[in-house]
Amino acid sequence: MKIDGYTRVCGVMGCPVEHTMSPAIHNTLAESLGENLVYVPFRVPAGHAGDAVKGAFALNLLGVNVTVPYKSEVIPFLKEIDPLAETIGAVNTLVRTEGGFKGYNTDMPGLYRAMCEDGVEIAGEKVLILGAGGVARAVAILAAEKGAGRIVILNRTQEKAQKIAEEVNLLAGRRLAEAKALEEYASLPAEKYLAIQATNVGMFPKVEKAVIEDAAFYEKIHTGYDLVFNPARTRFMSLVRESGGRAFGGLKMLLYQGIIAYELWTGAEIDSELAGKAYGEMRKAMKIE
């Protein structure tokens, strides 16, 4: 990699950020495309998200990814926000424009692109979402926008799930989503669901955990998506497969949210071959065989 006075800089801001796999994506893309661009992590201390956005613009950064805990905190410091990001209430990609950054959310388009590659449809599906945090809310909005037939949100605190269901129903203009307490999972009709695991349960280092352990629950799932990407195979995924369903992890979502960000920054179009190369570099960085 050659760095000179013309090198453009992109990066990811968060806290912590040392574990990020994003440099493996973006530096692979830049090198493969012959772009004079480098991507680095930026650890931003609590309370300094606004300073980081202003500093990134002042330093002429081409673009910035935003990870926890700043995806909502950066919004007041943006010049403009994309409608999807505004609806979701979270930004993970800043694109340089005249006079400031424009904020986008590429997480949900990244998830959708990953699902399409894996042959998973949302349209017409009964979608079951585990969790009621910011990620679960975004997934529920995505499911509604892509034509889910029904959405059920399971969460330990039913009130949080109910709030998301009401938001989704308002956006959809009909009663599309409903909320249930986590312990009510056994009352779900004996149907087959597309289940999306949107909590951090099972994330490294507590890899032996799943939100629900009951095998009877997993018999109702034909396809499970765990948005956790470390480990590459989670306990949730194993339980889905043991009950005969298909299961996918969050690594491809991470890949495609990065690819979409790179396309926004550079105007490049990343084909499947190059996406596969970047995916391989991510797996190497995570020491996945």
Residues of the chain with CATH 3.40.50.720: 109-249
| Residue whose C-alpha is closest to residue 13's, from 31, 2, 55, 78 | 55
Please state which architecture CATH assigns to domain 109-249: 3-Layer(aba) Sandwich (3.40)
Q: Which of 288, 273, 159 is nearest to 230 (CA)?
A: 288
Would you write out the chain's pLDDT as a tens digit for each of its 289 residues?
Answer: 789 999 999 999 999 999 899 999 999 999 999 999 999 999 999 999 999 999 999 999 999 999 999 999 999 999 999 999 999 999 999 999 999 999 999 999 999 999 999 999 999 999 999 999 999 999 999 999 999 999 999 999 999 999 999 999 999 999 999 999 999 999 999 899 999 999 999 998 889 999 999 999 999 999 999 999 999 999 999 999 999 999 999 999 999 999 999 999 999 999 999 999 999 999 999 888 7
Q: Which of 225, 254, 280 is nearest to 109 (CA)?
A: 254
d(Cα 180, Cα 197) in Å, to the nearest integer? Answer: 15
Q: Which of the residues are catalytic?
A: 71
Specify the pLDDT at position 222: 98
- What does the pLDDT read at residue 135? 93
Q: Which two tokens stand for residue 234?
A: 């989670």
Q: Which residues make up the CATH 3.40.50.10860 domain(s) of the chain?
A: 8-105+252-285
- CA 81 to CA 66: how far, in whole Å? 14
Give the CATH H-level superfamily of domain 8-105+252-285. Answer: Leucine Dehydrogenase, chain A, domain 1 (3.40.50.10860)
Taking 3-state DSSP, the helix, strand and coil percentages for the chain, each rounded to the nearest 5, stand at 40, 20, 40
What is each CA distance from 112 to 49, 106, 145, 246, 287, in whole angstroms? 28, 10, 11, 16, 25
Region class of 13: left (phi > 0), else alpha (psi between -120 and 50), else beta: beta
What pLDDT was estimated at residue 204? Answer: 86
Contact 250, 228 (CB under 8 A): yes
Helices (H) and strands (E) in the chain, counts: 10, 12
